[in-house]
A and B are shown apart, each in its own frame.
Chain A
Amino acid sequence: MTVPDSHPEKRAFPLPDTAVPRLRRGVRLSFDPTRDSYVLLYPEGVLLPNETAAAVLGRCDGGADVATIVASLARDFDGVDAAQVSDLLRRLERRRLVEIVERPDGTVRDDG
């Protein structure tokens, strides 16, 4: 059994535009020529993100905030929906693949 590790209700609200997401320590995005797909590698496994998710993950560099990521996506793709991007990042945060570095009130998270 793997017990879910976070409270969904606490994380359900959308991410503010100023939140800065980054891949958690130990999580790596790369491309797998064998599967012709992006792959997200992390301690317990491998995830095959679809093209959209890979595009979002590739922009989570720990510097760009959500607004910047959405704007950058809009340059490369049609029909980018900020709410969907926020939702995806929330889900990745819940799965402990992405973390939010800077909180909207400007505090920086202390992650030891």
Chain B
Amino acid sequence: MGEPGPSVGPPFGLLAELTHRCPLRCAYCSNPLQLVPASNELDTDQWRSVLDQARRLGVLQVHLSGGEPMARRDLPALVEHAHSLGCYVNLVTSGLSLTDGAAAELVAAGLDHVQLSIQDADTRGADAIAGARAHERKLAAAAVVRRLGLPLTVNVVLHRGNLDHVEAIVDLAERMGADRLELANTQFYGWALRNRAALLPTAAQLRAADVVVRDAVERLAGRMEISYVYSDYHERRPKPCMHGWGSRQLTVAPNGDVLPCPAASVIEGLDLENVRTRPLAEIWYESASFNAFRGTDWMREPCRSCAFREVDLGGCRCQAFLLTGDAANTDPVCQLSPHRAVVDRVLAEDVLLVPPPSVPRRMPVSRNGDAL
């Protein structure tokens, strides 16, 4: 470890998590339980330097996300900076502050694309899971994006509470004028894992949704592209680890930690580097964390001798850590994993119950009681 593999190429994408602050409190949020307080965020110049270094390293696509990226006052300046470097700039937002004025400023700064998340088809359900009155403002935000002529992707995280509404969600996305719709079953990291018992869908729900989604894909071909992310717990094989650990994309967290995967801060023993202390190129090519799971040499059985090892790369390292305690294990979602029983137990237990209430995502609170 620590040595760059022979075939490591430059990254294409940077996920810049500008802040963990957010006006919403989605129970399904994949952000870590340990949210970075505002006082510990990189400042504007530090983010500019991250963007400079990322472009020099080969990054062409910048996803500005969080938390809520629009909570950063310097967002237009950062969009402009990324754009001036020749990057494609994507804003991943809950859309609450995406008014005509704010959006026009971002477009003038060079924004290329907006990914807007909604929570459900109807206001009540959506606002319940978001923990805020958000839905109507999101619909207004979509109209703003449309008026400005930017391409729009609508993202919806699916779970037990909204899976039965997939058809209405597709209709709504169409009315919002989405070019693309991402229907993503909840991935269980961060707050979502904390709230798994409330969010985990039933197999029957997933089967029904599958039919609806296939139908919609067919019907809307050429008009709205639909991508569907499976519920991996219910599958026999794991989802691939992104495009490979340290292969195409890197994430910079609000405090400057550089992550091979957005969820990787949970892996104990992974020595994360920070842009405040080490150049980004060195971190990408030489750090122990980025080289830990590159390629297939790190694999154990059953992955090591499996025909699918280049296809799914043994699944998700973060999930392997979260569910088995060791990130180098086979993702326990895999039927061949000796730990698959962990997942089966979750499916059997959680799904029989009436789901318990979920815990809203929240920021750490300072000693005098204010959110930091």
Contact = CB atoms under 8 A, between A and B. Distances in A.
B60 A46 contact: yes
B222 A25 contact: no
Interface stretch (B19-27, B126-134, B149-157): B149-157
Nearest to B243: A45
B90 interface: yes
A41 B221 contact: no
Given A1-B229, A5-B225, A41-B61, A46 B12 contact: yes
B46 interface: no
Interface of A is mostly: loop
Contacts, number: 69
Interface stretch (A30-38, A58-66, A75-83, A84-92): A30-38
Interface string A32-58: 101100010111111000000000000
Contacts of A7: 221
A6 B221 CA distance: 5
Contacts of A42: 88
Interface residues of B, number: 34
Given A41-B88, A43-B151, A1 B61 contact: no
Interface residues of A, number: 23
B151 A5 contact: no
Interface string A83-112: 000000000000010000000000000001
A111 to B, nearest CB: 10
Contacts of B225: 5, 96
30 contacts: A1-B227, A2-B227, A2-B228, A3-B213, A3-B226, A5-B221, A5-B226, A7-B221, A24-B151, A25-B150, A25-B151, A26-B113, A26-B150, A28-B88, A32-B60, A32-B86, A34-B10, A34-B58, A35-B10, A39-B60, A41-B61, A43-B151, A43-B153, A43-B179, A43-B180, A44-B180, A45-B12, A46-B12, A46-B88, A112-B146
Given A6-B222, A25-B150, A43-B112, 10 more contacts: A5-B226, A26-B112, A32-B60, A39-B60, A41-B112, A43-B151, A43-B153, A46-B12, A112-B146, A112-B177
Interface of B: 10, 12-13, 55-58, 60-61, 86, 88, 90, 112-113, 115, 146, 149-151, 153, 177, 179-180, 213-214, 217, 221-222, 225-230
